[in-house]
Amino acid sequence: MRLDGVCRRYGRTGPWVLSGVDLSLPEASLVRIEGTNGSGKSTLLRLLAGIDAPTEGRISGRPSSAFVPERFPAALPLTALGFLTYLGRVHGLRRTAAFKAGRDWLERFGAAAYGRTPLSELSKGTSQKVAVAQALMSRPGLLVLDEAWTGLDLPARSVLDRAVAERVADGGTVVFVDHDPRRLDGAPSAIYRVEGGKLFEFEGYATHEPGTAPAGPCVRIEAEGPPGAEPPSGLPGSPLAESIPDGSTLLTAPVPYCDPLLRSLLAANWHVRSVREEFLEESAGPAPETAPAESAEAASAVSPEEAVEAGEQAGEGSTVEAAVESGEPAPAESSEEPPEERVEITEQPAEKSREESGEATR
């Protein structure tokens, strides 16, 4: 996706909010946008998601997209699950598939009990979980998050961290704004700053290169592959791979990539020995070739079920269990029929409908 000379202002004579923005967003990338309040961050995100159109310039190559706005319009006449089913159908899912996806994401965010609750009766935190779920359920090629973590409890924030990593690992592009400067620390492919209507790449930021470990919260996975095998190529999170004298490999990646990394290893028939979380102050080269202190039990290969438990210890809200099934057939799709629910959205005053309901359906 590309932005070429994009400019945006409101009204024919209004000041330019954005001017001459050039940006390239490759697949499988995670991009953070920074800037002061009123700098134009949200305007840029709305342009990326297709919610708004540029006054001048061109946007090309936009994939299927989903957007979590800064403010979620919770006054729609729907239940949480009815809203998600409706949005799933807008994104092209069949009704039953949309119902199932909505139910699954509510469960993943710890909000399954509120599926039948009207949106207007939900707390701010639960409303935010619904807002995030509607963007994730269709597996978009471009996911745009405007302060999406705000209002979520800690377990739900961890779930969103991992969901973002999963989207990137599956080839999607994620662009986000968040007030916490350490959000997804060490994971972004690039960081940009909006200032004076211009977009600048953050020169002091660089992703970790092969042979170095990322700074910040990291997951370290000790795994063993088939005899003589190198770690699979293209692993999520671009982990640092270090050989250990006993023949296993120590992989280091940003914490949000824990689940996708474990799934990829197990899919390649690698055995996971241990999973632990550490905080690295700054990028460093390969560690000395000494095996980490492990108990005798931890030194033996573990089953996928044990890998699930280890992955959960690496961060609350882990969803690695969905990725490390031991070769069993996938469960059949639920035959439960979604309940009949009217999902027509009544007309609202023109300006309010365009501002609020338009954001939600996108």
Please state, in angstroms and rounded to a whole number, the distance separating the CA atoms of residues 323 and 304. 9
Please state, in angstroms and rounded to a whole number, the distance separating the CA atoms of residues 294 and 272. 13
Q: What is the pLDDT of residue 1?
A: 94
Domain definitions of the chain by residue range: 2-206, 216-322
Question: 98: which residues sit within 8 A by CB, 6+ positions away?
Answer: 84, 85, 86, 87, 88, 89, 91, 137, 338
User: Which whole-number Å values give the CA distances from 250 to 123, 232, 267, 293, in the listed order?
Assistant: 43, 13, 17, 12
Strand-pair partners of 173: 29, 142
Over the chain (362 residues), what is each successive 10-residue block's mean pLDDT? 95 92 92 91 95 95 92 83 93 91 95 94 93 93 95 93 90 93 79 92 58 69 88 81 88 81 87 85 47 39 42 41 38 48 46 42 42
Please state, in angstroms and rounded to a whole number, the distance separating the CA atoms of residues 209 and 187. 12
* Residue 282 burial (10 A CB sphere; 0-12, 13-18, 19+): exposed
Per the CB < 8 A criterion, the answer to whether 268 and 232 are in contact is yes
Please state, in angstroms and rounded to a whole number, the distance separating the CA atoms of residues 232 and 226. 11
258 φ/ψ angles, rounded to the nearest 5 degrees: -55, -55
Strand-pair partners of 79: 118
Q: Which residue do the tokens 């968040």 mark?
A: 178
Q: What is the pLDDT of residue 281?
A: 66
Helix (H, G, I), strand (E, B) or coil at 17: strand
Q: What is the pLDDT of residue 236?
A: 78
Q: Count CB neighbours of 171 within 10 A.
A: 11
Tokens coding 112: 């399954």
Tokens coding 323: 């990725």
Q: What is the pLDDT of residue 231?
A: 87
H-helix or E-strand containing 294?
A: none
The strand pair at 56-60 and 2-9 is best described as antiparallel
Which residue type occupies 66?
A
Q: What is the pLDDT of residue 212?
A: 59
Please state, in angstroms and rounded to a whole number, the distance separating the CA atoms of residues 81 and 281. 42
Spell 220-252 as b/e; 16+ CB within 10 A means b: bbbbbbeeeeebeeebbbbbbbbebeeebbbbb
Q: What is the pLDDT of residue 209?
A: 54
> 2-206 maps to which CATH number?
3.40.50.300
